[in-house]
Amino acid sequence: MTPRWSERRPLIIAHRGASADAPENTLAAFQLARRRGAAMVEFDIHQTSDRRLVVLHDPTLTRTTGVRATVADCSLADLADLDAGSWFGPRFAGQRVPTLEAVLAALGPRMAVNIELKSGPRPYPGLEVRLVTMLRRLGWLRRALISSFHFDRLVRVRRLHPTVAIGILVHPWSLTTAIARARRLAAWSIHPPAREVTAALVNRLHAGGVLVLPYTVDRPEEKARLLRLGVDGFFTNDP
Ligand code: G3P
Ligand code: MG
């Protein structure tokens, strides 16, 4: 039997979906990751002006849809017809900026998700409670790893749920900060930039009781180097 996601080693996390071969953070990229057997997909969430959770990386729509606007200033209806695929290639024309609900529905009953909480130009009011409520309602709490560079948002997530898996991102990278944050939140994992990872770092983090999941690695030799160092998995655009 395939082990559940939290026991998979290495845990291969499709960064923004299979984003080397399909437009990042679209259903096409997530479905491709699923077909390739990735155990988990990573994606980034923002909140619209009418407080819906949507999946894209940047706080603005410009790079992936060509529309010069900020997500926080758009309603869900404003996003509905935008083309988030053509920038990547003509055959992806018509891919949308998906809602979080649509992504979860597309992933099916076996995959796990790493949901990264992004920030807009202003704080997103109520994003964390909306997220935890949705994950609970749809039965995803045990298949979700919630991460962010914004520690205050992870603190809010932990207050909302005592055991949901939390992953710590730190920028600029600091081992001391990462460990302190992981302890405070009883985090499941720390996600360092791949170039920072050494054997000593892996050992220190493991001694602290957290998993080590570096981002983002695509070159086979870099994946092999990290696995030799004993990381528990990694983020890749090419799962
Ligand atoms: O969560 C790992 C990675 O996604 C963090 O950076 O900018 O790709 O969201 P970014
Ligand atoms: Mg991300």
Q: What is the pLDDT of residues 26-65, one digit of tens each?
A: 999 999 999 999 999 999 999 999 999 999 999 999 999 9
Which DSSP state fits 3? P
Number of H helices, E strands in the chain: 9, 9
Tokens found for residue 71:
């997500």
Q: What is the pLDDT of residues 65-94, one digit of tens each?
A: 999 999 999 999 999 999 999 999 999 999
Contacts of 224 (CB under 8 A, 6+ apart): none
What is the structure's pLDDT at 28? 98
What is the structure's pLDDT at 1? 64
Contacts of 130 (CB under 8 A, 6+ apart): 47, 51, 53
Tokens found for residue 163:
């055991």
Instruction: Give the atom of ligand 1 at the shortest distance from the alpha carbon of 235.
Output: 2
Which residue reads 């160092």 in tokens? 229
The dihedral built from the CA positions of residue 85, 123, 132 and 188, taken in this order, carries a sign that is positive
What span, in angstroms and rounded, lies between the C-alpha atoms of 121 and 123?
A: 7
Asked if residue 10 has a cis previous peptide bond (ω within 30° of 0), the answer is yes
Q: Is the pTM of this model over 0.95?
A: yes
What span, in angstroms and rounded, lies between the C-alpha atoms of 78 and 38?
A: 32
Catalytic residue among 57, 150, 161, 206: 57
What is the structure's pLDDT at 3? 75
206 is catalytic: no
Ligand 1 binding pocket (C-beta < 6 A) is 15, 42, 44, 57, 116, 147, 169, 191, 215-216, 235
**Class of domain 11-236 (CATH, top level):** alpha beta
What is the structure's pLDDT at 22? 98
57 is catalytic: yes
Q: What is the pLDDT of residues 5-15, one digit of tens each?
A: 999 999 999 99
Which of the ligands is closest to the CA of residue 191? 1
Domain assignments of the chain as residue spans, ordered by start: 11-236
CA of 2 to the centre of ligand 2 (A): 26
Tokens found for residue 66:
């060509």
Query: 216 pLDDT exceeds 90?
Result: yes
What span, in angstroms and rounded, lies between the C-alpha atoms of 147 and 172?
A: 16
